[in-house]
Structures are given as C-alpha cells and as structure tokens.
Structure 1
Amino acid sequence: MSAAAVGLSHSPLIGKNDPTPDVLTRVDEAIAGARQFVHDFDPELVVLYAPDHYNGFFYKEMPPFCLATEAHAVGDFGSQAGALSVDSVSAKALIRGVLDRNVDLTTSARMIVDHGFVQPLEVLFGGIDQVPVVPVFINGVATPLGPVSRIRALGTAIGEAAAELDKRVLFLGSGGLSHDPPVPVLDGAPPRVADALIEGHPPTPEQRLRGEERVVQAGRDYAAGSTSMIPINPTWDNQLLDILESGSLAEFDSWTVDWMGAQGGGSAHEVRTWIAAFASLAASGPYQMRSRFYEAIPEWIAGFAVATASSTPST
C-alpha cells in the first residue's frame, strides 16, 4: 500500500460571505496545490474523516466516531446532495481490522452526512461520486467529548487495517481549526431545541433556510467585530500544524477537551479529523508534509488550513 494524507478546512460560508480577493487568491492557490497533489497520487480509496453539525448524528445516539458502509448527503448550504460512492467492501474490511485491533467502533449502514463530508469531495474531486470513499464520522461538537488519544488510536488502527487492502489510500481530514460558530448546545437548551438535538427531526426547507441565514449573518457579524464568539487563534492553529508536520502525534494525547475549547472555540474539536488522518498515515511509517497553508478568515469564522503529506520512501 502507498499512503498520503490531506487536511482541508471547510466552512458553510464559502461563497456566501467571502473575504477580500487577495485572501481568496491565496486560498485558491493552496487548494489548487492540494488538488494537484491528489491527482498525482491518484488514490484508489479515500478514507474521509469529517464531523457532523447535527444533520446526521444526534444525542439520541451520539458515538465518538462511526464508520459507514453507505452514506447519503443532505445538501445543506448548497452542497451536493445524494449518495456518496462508498466502497462497502473496503469499509467492511476496515471495520473488521479496527475491531481486531481492540478499538471499539460504531458502524452505520446508512450514514447521513452534511457539508463537512461533501465540501472536500467537491473541492478535491469535483463531486461526491467521483472516487471510492469510506466515510468516518468524528464527533467534534456534541459534549461530552472523549480524550484525543482515542482519536489517535482510531486513526492508527484504520491506517494499519488499510495497509492490508493493498491500495493507494488517501486519508482526508475535513475540519476547521480554531473557530467558534453559533452551534446549539444541549445543556440549558429550551425544550424545542433540546428535542431537535436529541431526536433529529429533519427540518423543513424553510427551517433549514432560516438556520443557514443565521449562520451567514453570524459570519458577517464576526468579521465586523460585533460578536461574543471566541476569536480565531492563529498561534494555536499553527501549533497544531507544527505537531502534524513533525510527526510527533503522541503530543496530542496531553491536549485536554477543556483546554482545546478555550484555545480554539467550541468547534475547535473538528481538528480531531486532522489528527485521525495523520495518525492513519503515520501507521505506514514516517511521512513528510509536502505543503502547508494557513490563513485566519473571520468571514468564514475559521482558522482555514490546507496541508498535504505522504509517506517517506524507505532507503
């Protein structure tokens, strides 16, 4: 097996509340580089780690992570809706491999996913049905959250199991770095909101539109400075990228849930997807980061990053 990894931030505000043209140019250049990297690697399988934003996973059953043998996208924020091209044979092999490595794993035979999964497939491959994929949900929002060491263990187990497939495998982590968007919280929520977070009643088109409009307005308020959201933290974001680049992933085991939230905001735990992806790559041996881009983008309420890496050839 040959392995590579890409970390790519997502935001529902892309194209709806954009930064200045010079920032967009830098982002576009970084994404173009990642797209070329993926094209050159030519993956036979993509293991996609991504969070959910209360579109597919709810408090009625909220696993820390879940691997799908089938997945369908809801099409939120204008993202593509429909079935992902899930490689169910590889997915089932990974499930067996992870369980054999003593990592408890929730599975889904029909996962519902949102823009967190869809955006990287659209950006890097042109759609949700262009490449065989195994979707892996990583909870980065719904408390309580487990230790980061378990995410690293999951990524390692999936990476080791993927090595047995004898394929070119791309491990793709989708998530913002520091960001604190207006995500609902179960504790203290009014009964109507709490019921929606627990039961997961599908919103009507009108309800979805109103919710998306609130997020867009929050991005505008954030960029204008009139908000109580935790600021983007470039220092923390680059500390994360430094550790990923060094390959010293065990350093993440000391990162506590509360500290991460204080440093990076309520949705900073989406970086768990990056940690899982790079842990999967590291399971094949030493790797080298091939490109690294970072920009704090208030308009997208995100510390936005793009990184690529591949295994270091043995000598």
Structure 2
Amino acid sequence: MSAETTAVGSESRFRSFLRLGKFDVYDYYLGILIVVAAVQEVSATLVLFLLGEIAVIVAGVALDDITGFRDGSDLVNYGPDDRLRKKLRKPLVAGTLTEAEALRFAWIAATAGAVLWAMAVLTAPHRPVWAVLLLALVYAAALQYSCGLKLSYRGFQEAFLVVLGMTLVLAPYGLITGEFSGFVLVQAVLFGTGPLMFGVYSNTNDVEGDRAVGRPTVAARTSARGNAAFIGALSAGEFALAALASLTGIAPWWFALLVLPAAALRARQFHLGFAAGEIMRARRLGFTVHRLHVVLLVLANLLVVSG
C-alpha cells in the first residue's frame, strides 16, 4: 500500500472540507491589510468584508473543484502520472468527500458570503454606487466561474482572477472612504496580478488536461512560445505599471523604486519557469512574490500617511 493511499484512508472529513475550501491559500485575503494601511482603521465593516470574501472565495474554489471532477480535468491533472501534484488537495479526486457533500458546502459558503457582504455594505460609513455594483458583479462572477455560465471555460479565467483581486482592495476602500483613488487602483491591480501569476503557471502545467475538456486558458489556446511571451509580458507589466504611476504622479515618485525587489523576484520566477523548465517551482515562488508585494504596498501606504 502506497503512502498516498494510506494518507487518503486516514484523512478526516473536517480536513477534507478545509482542503476543498483551499483555506491554506490565504493570499487573496491579504488585500485587507493594504486597505487597513490606506484608511488607517480597523472597523466592523472591514471585518465583515473580510469574512465575506473568505466565504465567497471558498464557495468559488469548491464549485471549481466540483466542475473539474465532473469534466475529468482534475483526474488528469492530479492523477497518478503527475507526481508533482498531491491528490489530497482535491478531495473529490481522492474520494475523501462525495460530490453531494462538496456541493452542499459550496452553497452554504455562498449564502454566508452574500449575507456578510450585505452586512458590510449596510454598516459602511459610505456606499458609493461603483463599489456596491463592483461587489455584486464579482459575487455573481465568482459563483459562475466554473459552473452555470462557466466563465473560466469561455476565456475569462485570467481576467477574472485580476478583477477579483482588484475588487478586494477597491471595494472596501470605497466603503470606508467613499472615494475613488488612482493610487489605490494601481495597488489593486498589482495585488490582483499576484493570484493571476499563480494561475498562469498552473495553467502551463495543466495545459493537456485543460485542452482535453475545452477550457480555453491562454496556455491551452497558444503555443508554448506564445504562452511564455504572455507570461513574460505580464511579469514586465507589473513593474511598468508602477513606473508609469510614479512618472505621472498617480503614485509618489519613490513608489517604483519601492517595488523593485518584487520585480526582481518576478523576473527570477520567469527564468525558473521558462529557462530552467521548473514550472511548479516557479508557481510556488509566485506566492512569495505576491506576499512581498503586499508588504511593500502596506509600507507604501504607511509612508504616504506619515507624509
């Protein structure tokens, strides 16, 4: 009996639900730290917003797993032939949860997310229309990402990952301040590209499974060279955005210099993935790049507030 089979047999149901909700991947939730640094307060609205975003994202990733199990792509990408991926991360593939249990979990989380975000809006000192509409749009899209309209199967996967991250910074900032800020928008885009960069490296590894089920990621739609060029452009675009913001006065003049360490690490990630051929190691490095970006963005806000 293999070690993996033994692990599957001993996996608790509670642990399996944690895996289904991807609670160990907390990187989207770090956006609230950027907002707190920008508004200089922690309020009930922000706590409710954070709890709501956790519930919404948990629902979205659970529904994604259900769809990946139904169409067979997860069976390919997490099957016995791919030793770089751990089957236990996909409870339906591992057999530690049933499809009915996963579906029930997803809709409970979705309901909780709707209630918590509604409470966040109701308790907010401001309710700018753009922030409320953005929240409603992203909530609906998160639940339609892999089921229903299947946005990720219609070419919207990469765009959604960025918009979700942007919303988790822009919307709570708007609810607290009632304002729209160009500098916060730049930070929101930089924050949103972090999860995108996890996704595009995963898609590079999962290209055969995605092509088999007709999931049109950029990696699945283009050649290996075209996909590398796309990811290279995204990598360079992060720093280009920061530099442009500094040059135009949207951000302080020193902002581009502040994020240089993250840009250097992003270049290292690209080299690791496409020059060294270590795609999954490059994906893991992406988490470090994203978390470093969050630290630098929090620092930038603290510096602005302090004058």
Give the TM-score, by structure 1 length: 0.27
More strand by share: 1
More helix by share: 2
